[in-house]
Structure formats: structure tokens, C-alpha cells
Amino acid sequence: KGEDLRYDGQVALVTGAGGGLGREYALLLAKQGASVVVNDLGGSHTGEGGSGSAADKVVEEIRQAGGKAVANYDSVEDGDKLVETALKAFGRIDIIVNNAGILRDISFARMPEKDWDFVHRVHLRGTYKVIKAAWPHMVKQKYGRIINTASAVGLYGNFGQTNYSSAKLGIAGLTKTLALEGQRKNILVNVIAPNAGTRMTATIMPPEMVEALKPAYVAPLVAYLAHSSSEETGSIFEVGSGWNAKVQWQRSGGFGFPANKELLPEQVAANWSKIIDFEDGRATNPSSTTESFQGFMENFSNTVEEEQAADPTKAELEPF
């Protein structure tokens, strides 16, 4: 255990903090000294209904423990109202944990458009709206810590969750670009893919798993990313059951066809095993669009003489 991570004088907004993971983030940040806006609409896990009691209960818990908190019951779709609550109650906003979420699981073939739209509105648009409202304040104070919430389902896919997974990977993309735009203003933006036993997962996980995947195990990583001492930005983390890990893209070494010849699908087919080979020691982990573009640039000089590519399907070209 290192030095205490404190958040005194700082204001944190945690969305969907009336239960599950969000509640743990709110409790921990408040315990460590932050003033917390506990946002929750109080609906069901599919986004039906609403009540202030979920947020109120958590605010009460925080206050009983001697912490500072206020409730907000608006939907994250009205992100400006959440930020307004923070400014009104505490005069600033330093930390945002975009955590609110719902599920509308159904196979793609059977999914009505409203379930696609609703899931996107709450997750991706909600995340956007909250950050959009807070951004000018963070830019002005040259400080901000934003933690967004993706999902393994967004990173890897899952049957019956096209709406959810696309919104979640969208949040990862939003995070990576915002991290670039915020860096010079000391606004750091990261995204987590948590695993936790909550009401959202209780329907699909056996009870032992719900017990092992305590939501409290996710909160410390979120708190660290929310702290002024953290320099991490633009990163994706998988976290749960006490295990914390960073995720990065990996790209195969690829296969560079001559840059001065027509390229045929037959050539792609003939070299497929090389294109998808991650085991030849040439795979890399690009961490920026510039690094990604490097692979293309390097192939510019991959040119051949006329006779070498006479029969492209037979062309046994060296990987570039």
C-alpha cells in the first residue's frame, strides 16, 4: 500500500451511481475526500421507469460516513444538467466517471430500431453529453480526469449485443481521441471494461461468480485514474475480481505487395496466411494513428521490376 490517494477539494461526478459499480466509485471517491455528485435515474436495467431513491440512498450513505455528496436524477442524455448540479453544489468539476448504462439484449435479426437507438443514446450519447458540458470548465481550469466505461463485449463482441457492443466500442474511440485533445490541458481520459457481479450481470452469472466479482474490486483502478498523480491517458483497461490489466491493439507484421503494381484479389488469397500471421515475430502494437500509418509508409518503397510480378498469383514475394 502506497501513500493515501486523496481528492480533497475536488468534485467528482459519477453517473449511474445509485447501484452496482457506480455506487462503489462514489463511495470510494467520497471516502478519500472528494465531493461527489451521485447521478442516477433509478430505472430498471433495461432503462424502464425511474426514481430518485437509488441516488438518494447512496448520498445518504456517503453523508453518514462523513463525506460530501448531492444527488442528481437526470438522465445522462441531459448531461448538462448533471454538470450544472456539480457546479451549483460545489462550484467546480474535476472528475467524471461515465458509468450509467442499460441493456436491451436481443439478436440483431430481431432487434427493433428503438432498442438500437436507446442503448446508443444512454451509453455513447450520454457519455458525450456529460463530457461536452464539463469540457469547457476542465479546459479553463487546465485539469480534468475522465473515466469512461466500455465493456469486453465492445472489445470482443457477444451474441445478442450489437447495440451495446457498438456503443461501447464507440466510447473507446471517443476516449482515445479526447485523450489527444485534452492532453495539453491536463485533461486525461481513459476507458475501462469492467467485470462485476451487479444486477446487470446477475441474470447471466451464477451466484458464486457474482460474489467473486465484487464491484468494489473495480473502484480502486477508477480512483487511481481519477487522481492528479496519474499520467495515464487514452488507455483501455480490463478490470474485475481484483485483477487489473491494460489492453492494446496488436497488428500482424502484414504482407506488403509491390506499391507500383496492380493488386489482385488472387494475390491477397495466395498470401492470406502471411497477412494474418501474428506468430512470425513481426507483430507490433501501434498506439497512435501515426504509428499505424507507419506500416503503409514503409510499403511506399516496396517496388519491383516489371518481370518479377508477371504472374501475381504465383508471386512468392518476401514479406516487406
Residue for cell digits 497488428?
A: 251
Q: Which is nearer to ligand NAI, 234 or 240 (CB)?
A: 240
Q: Are 267 and 257 in contact (CB under 8 A)?
A: yes
Window contacting ligand NAI (CB under 6 A); options: 13-21, 111-119, 220-228, 282-290: 13-21
Binding mask 38-57 for ligand NAI (x = CB under 6 A): -xxxxx-x-x------x---
Query: Measured between alpha carbons, how far is 70 from 124 in angstroms, rounded to an integer?
Result: 24
Q: 3-state class of 13 per DSSP?
A: strand
Grid cell in block for residue 248: 492494446
Query: Measured between alpha carbons, how far is 212 from 154 in angstroms, rounded to an integer?
Result: 23
| Residue of this chain nearest to ligand NAI (CB atom) | 20
Catalytic residue (choose from 25, 128, 164, 217): 164
Output DSSP code: residue 285.
-
Q: Which is nearer to ligand NAI, 47 or 144 (CB)?
A: 47
Rounded to the nearest whole angstrom, what is the least distance from the CB of residue 209 to ligand NAI in the complex? 10
Rounded to the nearest whole angstrom, what is the least distance from the CB of residue 22 to ligand NAI in the complex? 5
Residue 114 burial (CB count, 10 A): 9
Q: Which is nearer to ligand NAI, 47 or 170 (CB)?
A: 47
What is the DSSP track for 141-202? HT-EEEEEE--HHHHH--TT-HHHHHHHHHHHHHHHHHHHHHGGGTEEEEEEEE---SHHHH
Query: Measured between alpha carbons, how far is 30 from 108 in angstroms, rounded to an integer?
Result: 41
The only residue of 101, 170, 234, 254 in contact with ligand NAI, by rule CB under 6 A: 101
Does the annotation count 164 as an active-site position?
yes
Q: Which is nearer to ligand NAI, 209 or 264 (CB)?
A: 209
Q: Where are the alpha helices (DSSP H) in the chain?
A: 20-31, 53-64, 79-90, 113-120, 126-141, 152-156, 162-182, 199-202, 207-212, 219-225, 265-270, 272-275, 289-299
Please name the residues in contact with 283: beta carbons below 8 A apart, sequence gap of 6 or more. 250, 251, 252, 253
Rounded to the nearest whole angstrom, what is the least distance from the CB of residue 154 to ligand NAI in the complex? 8
The only residue of 13, 14, 15, 235 in contact with ligand NAI, by rule CB under 6 A: 15
The only residue of 10, 13, 20, 25 in contact with ligand NAI, by rule CB under 6 A: 20
Q: Are 312 and 264 in contact (CB under 8 A)?
A: yes
Q: Which is nearer to ligand NAI, 189 or 309 (CB)?
A: 189
Binding mask 173-202 for ligand NAI (x = CB under 6 A): ---------------------xxx-xxxx-
Q: Which is nearer to ligand NAI, 149 or 175 (CB)?
A: 149
Residue 33 burial (CB count, 10 A): 15
Rounded to the nearest whole angstrom, what is the least distance from the CB of residue 74 to ligand NAI in the complex? 7
Window contacting ligand NAI (CB under 6 A); options: 93-101, 180-188, 261-269, 292-300: 93-101
Window contacting ligand NAI (CB under 6 A); options: 3-11, 15-23, 221-229, 231-239: 15-23
Backbone phi and psi for residue 274, each to the nearest 5 degrees, phi listed first: -80, -35
Catalytic residues, by residue number, are: 164
Binding site for ligand NAI (CB under 6 A): 15-16, 18-22, 39-43, 45, 47, 54, 75-77, 99-102, 122, 126, 149, 151, 194-196, 198-201
